[in-house]
């Protein structure tokens, strides 16, 4: 088989494969109608359907319930508990009034019920409670009897450590964590928008390359047919004819690759938006973008007041300060207090349980002071203080990084308008230049290498223009995320 025939058959096979691929790509979805989708529509869809949205929403809901749980912990709680009954039949050891131990057969049931109200006291860090007890003992056998014990009213106060109030720190930390979660959700939405921009323009870029490859192949084939006739007439060298043939083969190979890349990019885009296989949408780019001023100082002020970083920095410092306060309280002189006041009584019947009640009081103040701990308390305190200083340094460093990041993106935004004008004009010039070079080649005034260079410049300029639009939207949503502000509409996110 001759080399020319082999190349011809190879070219035919590639065309057949490409046609089958395109047919499957366009009509292999059960005859689904192709619709268009804009960038804003894709972003809105991602904010409603993507897995990232569901994760962000679930994370926010968890933070909401945590904050609701925190608020509920400072409200009075009513509880009831008890045993009805606790029956025992056994021989147990008891101590007699004279101090001797003996074994006694017991056959009895003990029942109790306790109704109470508990309230945390945020100001002091203790717990205040009121309760009412009712106990009953039923003795079975030959000496059957029933007795009641009751505490109709009892007030108690308990506090573990004097000098360290965990509730005070919680009241400062929990609202910040809740606010951080809300701002995290807003930030997640802007990240979803930025990710959608990447997928959207990935499809758009792949589609553009695919369409250019088809056009380039058609142009090369046209030039090859014309050049063959000129070669037959002796107006062109064989080397140019062979170069065009090679260009045709390379254009066919590039078209095959670009068609696959286009399909894969669409699959990724559809998966991110969670579109079904029957939902085939063509990305549609609108070039009506607008540039508005974003002053650096205003962007920094907005970031300092609105962004999630501000809340997170405050939260990190507050948590470090809490560790210092806790280490000082835990490792120094500690006091705890437990006080109770109420009335109590015992009787053989319920109607007598409130007759002749007696007062009951209890107060207990305990203390603890380490005498020799081999420097344990001191090292705990120093470690907490060192951690606080480290957090302060990290926050300062992160603030500088945020400032640098905003400075970079604002500067890029200010240059983007000029860049857009340049790439748009470059694209127009490259397209016109290619058409001129193609005509000059047909007239024989330039070589095939010159034509190839102009085609490469045209393709590069077209890709650069699409990339520049994608960069515009990426900058747009990145600045929104960093400042939590929509500069176009002049309002907070």
Q: What are phi and psi of 38, to 5 degrees?
A: -90, 170
Whether 117 contacts 131, CB under 8 Å: yes
d(CA 126, CA 129): 10
Q: How much is the pLDDT for 454?
A: 85
pLDDT at 31: 44
CB 488 within 8 A of CB 292: yes
Eight-state DSSP code of residue 34: P
Q: How far apart are CA 239 and CA 243, in angstroms?
A: 6
Spell out a b/e string for 21-45, using b for 16 or more CB atoms within 10 Å of the CB, else e: ebeeeeeeeeeeeeeebebebbbeb
Burial of residue 373, with CB atoms counted within 10 A of its CB: 0-12 exposed, 13-18 middle, 19 or more buried:
exposed
Q: What does the pLDDT read at residue 365?
A: 77
pLDDT of the residue at 127: 84
Report the number of secondary-structure helices (H) and strands (E) in the chain: 9, 10
Prior bond of 85 cis (ω within 30°): yes
Task: Report residues of the chain scoring pLDDT below 70.
Answer: 1-34, 161-163, 230, 233-236, 277, 287, 332-333, 335, 356
Largest CA distance in the chain: 137
Bridge partners (DSSP) of residue 148 are: 136, 347
Gap between the terminal Cα atoms of the chain: 70
pLDDT score of 477: 92
- Spatial CB neighbours of 348, under 8 Å, sequence gap ≥ 6: 145, 146, 147, 148
352: its two tokens: 């007598």
Model pTM score: 0.77
């Amino acid at each position: 088989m001759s080399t020319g025939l082999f190349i011809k058959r190879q070219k035919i096979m590639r065309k057949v494969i490409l046609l089958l691929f395109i047919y499957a790509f366009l009509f292999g979805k059960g005859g689904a109608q192709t619709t268009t989708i804009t960038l804003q529509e894709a972003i809105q869809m991602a904010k409603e359907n993507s897995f990232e949205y569901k994760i962000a929403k679930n994370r926010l809901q968890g933070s909401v319930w945590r904050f609701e749980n925190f608020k509920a912990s400072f409200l009075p709680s009513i509880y009831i508990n008890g045993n009805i009954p606790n029956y025992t039949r056994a021989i147990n050891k008891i101590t007699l009034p004279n101090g001797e131990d003996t074994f006694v057969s017991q056959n009895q049931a003990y029942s109790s019920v306790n109704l109470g109200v508990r309230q945390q006291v945020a100001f002091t860090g203790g717990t205040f409670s009121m309760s009412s007890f009712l106990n009953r003992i039923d003795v079975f056998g030959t000496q059957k009897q029933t007795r009641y014990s009751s505490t109709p009213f009892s007030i108690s106060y308990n506090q573990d450590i004097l000098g360290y109030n965990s509730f005070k720190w919680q009241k400062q930390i929990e609202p910040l964590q809740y606010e951080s979660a809300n701002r995290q959700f807003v930030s997640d939405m802007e990240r979803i928008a930025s990710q959608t921009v990447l997928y959207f323009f990935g499809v758009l870029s792949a589609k553009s390359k695919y369409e250019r490859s088809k056009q380039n192949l058609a142009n090369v084939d046209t030039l090859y047919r014309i050049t063959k006739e000129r070669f037959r007439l002796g107006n062109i060298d064989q080397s140019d004819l062979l170069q065009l043939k090679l260009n045709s083969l390379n254009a066919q190979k590039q078209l095959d690759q670009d068609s696959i890349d286009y399909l894969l990019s669409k699959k990724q885009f559809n998966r991110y938006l969670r579109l079904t296989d029957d939902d085939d949408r063509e990305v549609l780019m609108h070039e009506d973008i607008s540039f508005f001023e974003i002053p650096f100082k205003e962007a920094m002020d907005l970031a300092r007041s609105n962004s999630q970083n501000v809340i997170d920095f405050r939260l990190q410092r507050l948590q470090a300060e809490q560790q210092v306060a806790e280490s000082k309280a835990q490792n120094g002189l500690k006091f705890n207090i437990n006080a109770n006041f109420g009335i109590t009584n015992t009787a053989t019947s319920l109607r007598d349980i409130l007759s002749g009640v007696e007062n009951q009081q209890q107060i207990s103040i305990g203390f603890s002071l380490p005498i020799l701990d081999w420097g344990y308390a001191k090292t705990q305190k120093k470690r907490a203080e060192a951690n606080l200083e480290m957090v302060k340094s990290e926050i300062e460093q992160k603030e500088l990084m945020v400032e640098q990041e905003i400075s970079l993106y604002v500067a890029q935004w200010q240059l983007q308008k000029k860049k857009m004008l340049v790439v748009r004009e470059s694209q127009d010039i490259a397209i016109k230049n290619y058409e001129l070079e193609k005509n000059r080649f047909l007239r024989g005034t330039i070589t095939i290498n010159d034509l190839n260079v102009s085609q490469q410049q045209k393709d590069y300029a077209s890709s650069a223009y699409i990339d520049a639009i994608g960069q515009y939207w990426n900058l747009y949503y990145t600045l929104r995320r960093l400042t939590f502000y929509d500069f176009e509409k002049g309002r907070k996110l």
